[in-house]
């Protein structure tokens, strides 16, 4: 099975190579247009230049700007991710300095064992969550009766 998966990965890598377009922007940068679309249906572009014998990759700050425009405050935010199947959720603190992006250590979030976070929305400060759970996971509902103007019902 591992050989089959390696073959699939090789096919995937070949697909990415075949669908990506390279273009020299100037004498320092090469633009890579990938086959991946962002949320605006635009192709993701990465710019590469040599830097002290290594390669520096950047998107020119596009991803960070898009996140900020969407209301994500990267100065104080966490990035949350649910693993496939929704059996666990993880968070990592992130911060930016100009166009630089830094990520902290990924940590598993302590949801109760009976809650599978298939969808969770955090508050802006990342401290609380609204979690959607299946009906099987929901606690039994209790009903409360509210009687309005109850003193009037006491009069004969």
Spell out the domain ranges in the chain: 1-60, 61-136
Provide the b/e sequence for 27-43 (b: ≥16 CB within 10 Å).
eeeeebeeeeeeeeeee
Environment class of 86 (CB within 10 Å of its CB; exposed 0-12, middle 13-18, buried 19+) = middle
Q: What is the pLDDT of residue 52?
A: 86
* Angle at the Cα of 126 from the Cα atoms of 37 and 136, rounded to 5 degrees: 85
Q: What is the pTM of this model?
A: 0.48
* Residues 80-117 pLDDT 10s: 666 655 567 777 777 766 666 677 787 777 776 666 66
C-beta separation of 96 from 102 below 8 A: yes
Of the pLDDT bands very low, low, confident and very high (cuts 50, 70, 90), residue 137 is low
| Selection from 10-19, 54-63, 90-99, 134-143 with the highest mean pLDDT | 10-19
HEC string of 124-147 equals CCCCCEEEECCHHHCCCCCCCCCC
The mean pLDDT value for 36-52 works out to 86
């Amino acid at each position: 099975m591992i050989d089959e998966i390696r073959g699939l990965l090789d096919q995937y890598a070949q697909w990415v190579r075949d669908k990506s377009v390279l273009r020299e922007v100037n004498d320092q940068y090469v633009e890579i247009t990938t086959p991946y679309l962002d949320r605006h249906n635009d192709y993701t572009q990465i710019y590469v230049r040599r830097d002290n014998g290594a390669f520096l990759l950047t998107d020119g700050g596009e991803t960070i700007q898009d996140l900020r425009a969407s209301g994500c405050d990267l100065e104080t935010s966490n990035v949350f991710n649910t693993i496939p199947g929704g059996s666990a959720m993880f968070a990592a603190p992130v911060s930016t300095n100009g166009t630089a992006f830094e990520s902290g250590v990924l940590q598993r979030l302590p949801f109760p064992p009976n809650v599978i976070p298939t969808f969770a929305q955090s508050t802006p400060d990342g401290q609380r969550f609204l979690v959607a759970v299946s009906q099987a996971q929901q606690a039994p509902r209790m009903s409360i009766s509210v009687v309005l103007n109850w003193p009037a019902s006491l009069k004969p």
